[in-house]
Structure 1
Amino acid sequence: MMTALAQQPLPAHVPAELAMALPLFSRQVIYDNPQEVLIPAMHAELPPITYVTNIFPGDQPGWLLTKAEDVQAMLRDADNFTKNGMGKWAQNIGENWLVIPTEADPPIHTSYRKALNSHFAPQKMFAMKEQVRERARTLIHAFQDRGECDFIAEFSEKFPIFIVLDLLGLPQERMAQFLIWEKEMLHSNDWEVRGNAVRCVKNYLLEEIEARRQHPRDDYISKILTFEVEGRLWNDDEVLGHCFNLYIGGLDTVTSLLGNIFNYLASHPDKQNELRSDPSLIVLAVEEFLRAFAPVTAFRIATKVIEIHGQKIMPGEYVAFSSPVIGRDPAFYEDPQAVRFDRKAPHMSLGSGIHKCLGMHLARLELQIAVEEFVAALPEFRIKDGFKVPYFVGNILHVPDLHLQW
């Protein structure tokens, strides 16, 4: 039985047969690969819309859409689905700033993106290519002659963080502390732990922002202080909200994706060797990896009574977009469990509509370079003998520990 029925009293408009807790959101470590076991079972057994009692951190309820077409429609409908305060980051500590631009709605969202897009444009990110490659090579060089590595601790946790800290002008030597805060914010089910980490990050960012106000530097935080919206400079909450967005977005998603991707490559030497023998496949392979191994479940909040597949959703209720589930929708993708480098299928793993991921060009660059450098520097690698791969199931599906050998 893959689902447990909900125990708590349900709202009047929620039919009992649609309410359940799902193992995919249980926020614990399991040893069955969720992409191979839980997600296909969900597509086989669940209706297109389900009331999932443990979908939001803290085991809070919301609606899960399992069909890619329904999710696409929701992501393009900013009138009926808001992102305002969606992550409950500020609310959790009794404040009301928004994560910018992620939690903003039109029309101000449009103005924020106008100020931001040019800073994350493909050519800007491409200009960082050699810097990103150098970071990857330095990390790989430290273990390539050893014949084994602790992939998460020695590569995938550090690599994206190096890049984001470079971009923001934050000190690399604080990385260990940043990692602790990030884990407490993004992987804990305990709202007190999350709240304490939010406070720490907020206070730290405010210090850095103030330092730039006093002594501007040639870094991104200094640039944010010059951004305008609606004919005025961004206010203090907006500057903080944007720095916070880059902190949580830049420190975790690529790390989680890399763990999922390299677990797959280590288990499929034929796929590794395909990329090794023809590195020109890597750009398309990364798009397929984004479809198949997307880690994040994100949310919208209904602004009015909405009906989907005959089911009423009430204002204020959460509706989930689970990219790992959508990326394997058999109604949308032919043979979704197969990882095919020539698929060229669209995916929503970097979002869709107005909230498409601001850092998508940087994320793609990081993933492409990580794969390129690994297959170039190392012979065929595999999961270390005797190592059992753990999978963390929750709002960010990831491999918390991965040992490779070659």
Structure 2
Amino acid sequence: MDCASGQTQLAEKPSHVPEGLVVDFDMYDFAGGADGPQAALHAIQTASPDIFWTPRNGGHWVATRADDIEAMLRDPARFSSNRVFLPRDDTAPRSLPLEVDPPLHTELRKPLSRALFPRIVDAMEPRVQELAQSLVAGLLPRGGCEFVADFANVMPINIFLDLVDLPREERHVLLPLVEAFIKGGTIAARQEAQMAVFAYITDVVRARRLEPGTDLASIVVNAQIGEDRISEPDAIAYMTLILFGGLDTIASMLSFITYFLAENPAHRAQLVAHLDDDTYVRNAMEELFRRFGIVQAARVVQEDFDYRDVPFRKDDAILPMNLLCGLDDRRIDDPLAVDFERPKPARHLVFGAGPHSCPGATLARREITIFLREWLRHIPEFRVAPGCRPVHLMGVTCSIHALNLEWSSPAR
């Protein structure tokens, strides 16, 4: 989700931070970010120390290189997830299970992982495909759309509603609230929208705790944690995270991928020519994930230690920038170029690493594979509408605010 820092005051540099490792960097507002956050952050990656400290957003470390980022994400004993948002607010309720570490995280994650096993996703595929087909069919005669509002947000929220056994018509209630929270405005407006989302989720949680079914919500909100059932506040926090994670990240990935394909007809033609080749489509999708990473969540240092000669101290905040793993030129040749035929698909951390790797990764990949095939079969030629260059948003999840597309040809 996008979170404006709301903080212009610079933090004082702690005494243990070397002067040569200080860089003025704001994750919510950096040079070039509005035109493309991944390329702008890659420029920062190549021009800055591998690990540096910034006075912005409460003061925190930033790790920019793939080896370090991956090591930190896989080491919760030293880099805790108990606070992942910056600036850090230690008084705010934790987002579960995102902001807890093993072993509690392991217990909290189990019901969600079981509910999204590959065989469950396989069973969902016909409904996901039907949804994508119906959305594309509705847009095709219009000759254009605002992709974020008309498709990228609609597809994942309908899938969420299917998972929790609520009518798809509920999206008309829920989507405006989620949009108001995710996409900004004033802090007061976001707080108001957040409270409305909590109220909605609370009603769902209470209904499923009273009369459980077999849907995802029933499984999660009645999870056994040790000897006890998960508490109602924790169940509400859990379901809220599932909603935001399922909507925000998928919508952002869909938007970045579609923008790239709209602007790059040669790549689009390659995909259109190989839509029935499962391996080619899978490799192309992973290449797009690599190039257009979206997430950057913080960690909290748990003890005093030096890491590659960088002096970390207990309670330091650090931002291991997941999205830069796929853009590290120490691992990947020409990382800003998209090449669907790389000899070996490059690694990325779009879905995280370690204990907090995304349990919804299988479903996310299936959604985007289905989208690519259904969209490109019916709308193989499309472009960004003239004068409508999209604005990119920077934050915990980088996203596109609006993407106006047009096409002149009917279905192939």
SS in 1 for 2:245: helix
Q: What are the superposed Cα offsets for residues 129-188 of structure 1, whole Å, 9 maximum, x if unpaired?
A: 111111111111112122222111111111111111211224433434433433444444
Deviation at 1:276, TM superposition (A): 0.6
Q: Which amino acid aligns with 1:361?
A: T
For 1:127 and 1:265, how far apart are their aligned partners in 2? 29
Seq. identity, %: 29
The letter for the 2-side match of 1:318 is A
Superposed CA deviations along residues 67-113 of structure 1, whole A, max 9, x for unmatched, are 00001110111111111243489968x664x3332222111222223
Q: Structure 1 residues 61, 126: CA separation in 2 closer, same or farther (over 3 Å shift)?
A: farther
| Residue correspondence of structure 1 range 103-142 to structure 2 within 5 A | 103-142=99-138
Comparing 67-76 and 215-224, the one that deviates more: 215-224
Of residues 24, 44, 47, the one that matches 1:45 is: 47
State the 4+ residue runs in structure 1 displaced beyond 6 angstroms. 88-92
Q: Find the aligned partners of 1:28 and 1:316 in 2 and give their Cα distance.
A: 29
Letter of the structure 2 residue corresponding to residue 21 of structure 1: D
Report the counterpart of residue 84 of structure 2 in structure 1: 86
Residue 311 of structure 2 aligns with an amino acid whose one-letter code is K
- Structure 1: gaps spanning 5 or more residues: none
- Quote the RMSD (CA, aligned, Å): 2.6
What's 1:349 paired with? 350
In structure 2, the residue corresponding to 1:21 is in which secondary structure? Answer: coil
Aligned positions of 1:167-182 closer than 5 A: 167-182=163-178
1:186-234, CA deviations, whole angstroms, 9 ceiling, x for partnerless residues? Answer: 4448654444333322222111111223333442222224422223322
Which runs of structure 2 are paired with 1:220-235 in the superposition (5 Å)? 220-235=216-231
Shift of 1:362: 0.9
Equivalence for 2:281: 282
Give yes or no for contact 2:296–2:397 (8 Å, CA) kept in 1: yes
C-alpha deviations, 1:268-326, integer Å up to 9, x for none? 11111111111122111111111111111111111112323322222222211223322
Q: What are the residue-to-residue correspondences of 1:16-27 with 2, within 5 Å?
A: 16-22=19-25, 25-26=28-29
Change (3 A) 1:31 1:86: closer
1:29 Cα deviation from its structure 2 partner: 9.4
User: The residue matched to 2:306 in structure 1 has which SS?
Assistant: strand
TM-score, length-normalised on structure 1?
A: 0.89
In 2, the alpha carbon distance for the partners of 1:200 and 1:315 equals: 36
Q: Distance between the aligned counterparts of 1:7 and 1:87, measured in 2?
A: 17
Q: Could you tell me how far 1:8 is from its partner in structure 2?
A: 4.5
Structure 1 position 365 matched with structure 2 position 361: no
Look up the match of 1:151: 147
Counterpart of 1:71?
69
Residues 156 and 255 in structure 1, CA contact (< 8 A), matched pair in contact too: yes
> 1:213-256 CA distances to partner (integer Å, 9 max, x unpaired)?
33334422222244222233222233223212201111100101
Per the alignment, residue 5 of structure 2 pairs with none
Query: How far apart, in 2, do the equivalents of 1:133 and 1:269 lie?
Result: 25
Q: 1:89 to 1:389 in 2, by over 3 A?
A: closer
Q: How does 1:187-226 map to 2 (within 5 A)?
A: 187-188=183-184, 191-226=187-222
SS in 1 for 2:45: helix
Contact 1:6–1:19 (CA<8 Å) still a contact in 2? Answer: no
Structure 1 Cα separation of the partners of residues 308 and 191 of structure 2: 36
Task: Structure 2 unaligned segments of length 5 or more: list them.
Answer: 1-7, 408-412
> In 1, Cα distance between the equivalents of 2:92 and 2:51?
32
> Which residue of structure 1 lines up, in the alignment, with residue 292 of structure 2?
293
Matches within 5 A, 1:388-403: 388-403=389-404
Q: Does the alignment pair 1:34 with 2:43?
A: no
Q: 2: distance between equivalents of 1:210 and 1:90? A: 30
Question: Which residue number in structure 2 is paired with residue 9 of structure 1?
Answer: 12
| C-alpha spacing 1:123/1:147, structure 2 compared with 1 (3 Å) | same
CA change 1:30–1:322 in 2 (3 A) is closer
Q: Is the 8 A contact 1:80 1:306 kept in 2?
A: no
Aligned partner letter, 1:101: P
Aligned 8 A contact 1:298 1:322 in 2: yes
Partner of 1:258: 254
- The structural deviation recorded for 1:327 is 1.7
Relative to structure 1, is the Cα distance of residues 182 and 128 closer, same or farther in structure 2, using a 3 angstrom cutoff? same
Aligned 8 A contact 1:115 1:227 in 2? yes
Counterpart in the other structure of 1:378: 379
189-198 or 205-214, which moves further after superposition? 189-198
Match for 1:314: what amino acid?
R
Residue identity matched to 2:66: A
CA gap of 1:6–1:234, structure 2 versus 1, over 3 A, is: closer
Equivalent in the alignment of 2:338: 339
Distance 1:152 1:27, change over 3 A: farther
- Give the secondary structure class of the aligned counterpart of 1:379: coil
1:65 deviates by 0.5
